[in-house]
Amino acid sequence: METSAVSGASEAHLPLVAVLATGGTIAGVQASATASSYVAGSISVAQLMASVPQLAGLARLRTEQVANVGSQNMTHAVWQALAARVQMLDADDDVQGVVVTHGTDTLEETAFFLALTAPACKPLVLVGAMRPATALSADGPANLYAAVALARHGMARERGPLVIMNGDIHTARDVQKVAASGINAFASPNGGRIGVMVGVDPLFHGPAQPMPHRYPLEALGPVEQWPRVAVVYAHADLQADVVDALAALYDGLVLAGVGDGNATDAAIDALKRAAAKGVAVVRASRTGSGYVGRGAEIDDGEAGFVAAGELSAQKARILLMLALTQTRDPARLQAIFDSR
Ligand code: ASP
């Protein structure tokens, strides 16, 4: 991990915000300002900060390059390193808040992982951009400015990881990337955004909710030993062989099901066979919003399945991976999925 110096050190009265950079389009570079192609994770955190000189009026910044990847290449190993840094910074009395810069593709997954593994009392804000740093009207600078403003704010404490994009503030549990393009690509389809930025201050629509932290990082052990969970994406005429193949390789399967977490009879039968052999099976929905409850069309009790509730398949994968470090019992797994 590259560590760089504190900038704005002469402005001692300003709060200190730590910025952990991981790459993404916010650090992406094109051949020209109007080119449609670009490479995510190209510029360093120092260059990124230098591109927004207005940050110097908000906070002193302590920057660290934790990774520099397009977030399609985000790994569990980076998550582990990031969570460890978040915990250390949360315990550092000099630091007011933490910003994580991140690619947008898996930003919601990293936020949810941190919510479950790295309790932070201080503001913890994840931010990205839909346009590369070198684009005309890049959205990264404004998003980064808002993220630092939010991270230095006392109102953002005790809320778990927050995501800020395009002026909207979301929780780690609810936020999703809902569009492949355009700067308004993030939403919280079930709960709604929890606030907005008004200038440099957040306006929250409600009080802080308790953080869901449940899986101490130290108890998870080495990344190579984390349970392996795959996602099966349902569609018309889904065949059993896909499920059978994955069930032979993984500790858990999450169904990104049609509708309320459903699939063809052949695939559901294959999932039942998997569950009978001890593979954990969670039913989620590919629809992007709504609730997958137990027993609507499938007898989860008889099948040994778990219903994902409001969690997307990609977040259910993370929760199942972590929960499997504690239990394989479907009833206990269901209780974990039911507790917010
Ligand atoms: N592929 C990029 C990433 O997730 C997209 C982005 O950041 O907007 O890193």
CATH of the domain at 24: 3.40.50.1170
Matching residue, tokens 């294959």: 270
Q: What is the pLDDT of residue 35?
A: 86
At 213, is the pLDDT very low, low, confident or very high (cuts 50, 70, 90)?
confident
The answer to whether position 247 is within a domain reads yes
| 226-244 residue pLDDT tens | 999 999 999 999 999 999 9
**Predicted pLDDT at 34:** 87
Whether residue 131 is contained in a domain is answered as: yes
* Residues 238 and 200 both lie in one domain: no
| Residues 111-157 pLDDT 10s | 999 999 998 899 999 999 999 988 899 999 999 999 999 999 999 99
Q: Please confirm, yes or no, whether 104 is among the known catalytic residues.
A: yes
Quote the tokens at residue 202: 């957040």
Asked if the structure places residue 325 within a domain, the reply is yes
Q: Is the pLDDT of residue 10 over 60?
A: no
The residue out of 169, 204, 239 marking a domain boundary is 204
Placement of tokens 């994902």 in the chain: 308
Statement to judge: residues 45 and 154 lie in one domain: yes
Residue 10 resides in a domain = no
Residue pair 325/116 in contact (Cβ under 8 Å)? The answer is: no
316 lies in the same domain as 243:
yes
Pocket test residue of 105, 166, 176 for ligand 1, highest count of atoms within 8 A of CB: 105
CA 250 – ligand 1 centroid, Å: 27
**Same domain, yes or no: 31 and 95:** yes
CATH code for position 298: 3.40.50.40
Say whether both 243 and 334 belong to one domain.
yes
pLDDT above 70 as % of the chain = 97
User: Which token pair is 201?
Assistant: 């201050």
**Identity of the residue numbered 66:** V
Question: How many whole angstroms separate alpha carbon 171 and alpha carbon 202?
Answer: 14
Distance 238 CA to ligand 1 centre (A): 29
Task: Tell whether 69 and 189 lie within a shared domain.
Answer: yes
Question: Which amino acid makes up residue 57?
Answer: G
Residue 299 and residue 192 in one domain: no
Q: Is 104 in the pocket of ligand 1 (CB under 6 A)?
A: yes
25 is catalytic: yes
Ligand 1 centroid from CA 127, angstroms: 11
For residues 231 and 197, state if they share a domain.
Answer: no
Give CA–CA dist 4/22, Å, rounded: 14
34 labeled part of a ligand binding site = no
In a domain, 89, yes or no: yes
* Residue 71 annotated as part of some ligand binding site: yes
| 293 domain-assigned | yes
Q: How many domains does the chain have?
A: 2
| 96 and 130 share one domain | yes
Residue-number span of the structural domain to which 169 is assigned: 16-204
Among 204, 235, 255, give the residue marking a domain's end: 204
The CA-atom distances, in angstroms, between 23 and each of 54, 75, 166 are 21, 13, 18
Domain end call among 204, 237, 262: 204
Residue 236 falls inside a structural domain: yes
Give 73's pLDDT tier (boundaries 50, 70, 90). Answer: very high
Whole-angstrom distance, CA of residue 101 vs CA of residue 148: 11
- pLDDT grade, residue 7 (50/70/90)? low
State whether 169 and 234 are in the same domain. Answer: no
Shared domain check, 234 and 120: no
Q: Report if residue 214 sits inside a domain.
A: no
Mark whether 194 and 237 lie in a shared domain.
Answer: no
